Amino acid sequence: MKTLVALLCTISALAGSVFSYKCISCMCRNSTTCLESETECLGDRCMAASQYYHLNRKELKSFYKGCANETLCEKKGSVIVKDGEFVFGTHCCTGELCNNQVYEIPKEDPTPNGVKCPVSMCLDTLEECKTDKKINCTGSMDRCIDYRATLRIFYGKDTKYSGKGCANSDLCRYNTDSNIGIDEMHRGYLKCY
């Protein structure tokens, strides 16, 4: 019986060390520095994520470190609309405290890919932002997007956005609950085609 108890204690100790790792944890909204701490994570993977938002000459950069969200690991999303751009990227790593660096999003390939999409941006409306203008999509952005939502950016006031442009497939599947500092308060419409 003592042998069985000792074996179970050993297995339990090993399981705890295999399935629980520490990752660096912080969220920085429109900043390049934040107070880092350590957090216990289930599994052995940590994540670092960055987001870049640009609209009407306003630029916001944010980053996150913490436990890995496996559905987001190694994703890079890009969307370009009239006078605006949103890019996110994630990197997951294995091992304790492995997410100690800020993740720099790789630059999008500027080479046109042959896809052309309508391009527009309208504020203060969830109605379709109609346009006759088109944009040449580049790099991995091989889908057209029509997006309408009420967003709150960095604890500001809620603003309605309606826009069309180019996007890549990761952006089209992106879960906005993972945003850093940009909260989707209400989604009116999203279509990638």
In a domain, 11, yes or no: no
11-22 tens-digit pLDDT = 344 444 455 789
User: Does some domain include residue 114?
Assistant: yes
d(CA 33, CA 183): 21
Read off the pLDDT of residues 98-129 as tens digits, 9 standing for 90 and up: 999 888 888 889 999 999 999 999 999 999 99
Average pLDDT over residues 150-156: 80
DSSP-assigned beta bridge partners for residue 143: 167
Report if residue 134 sits inside a domain.
Answer: yes
**What's the confidence (pLDDT) of residue 55?**
76
Q: What is the CATH number of the domain that holds 102?
A: 2.10.60.10
> What is the spatial distance between Cα 143 and Cα 107, in angstroms, rounded to a whole number?
18
Number of domains in the chain: 1
Question: Is residue 6 situated within a structural domain?
Answer: no
Is residue 5 one of the residues assigned to a domain?
no
Does 1 reside within a domain?
no
Query: Which residue range forms the structural domain that includes residue 120?
Result: 20-192
Q: Is residue 55 situated within a structural domain?
A: yes
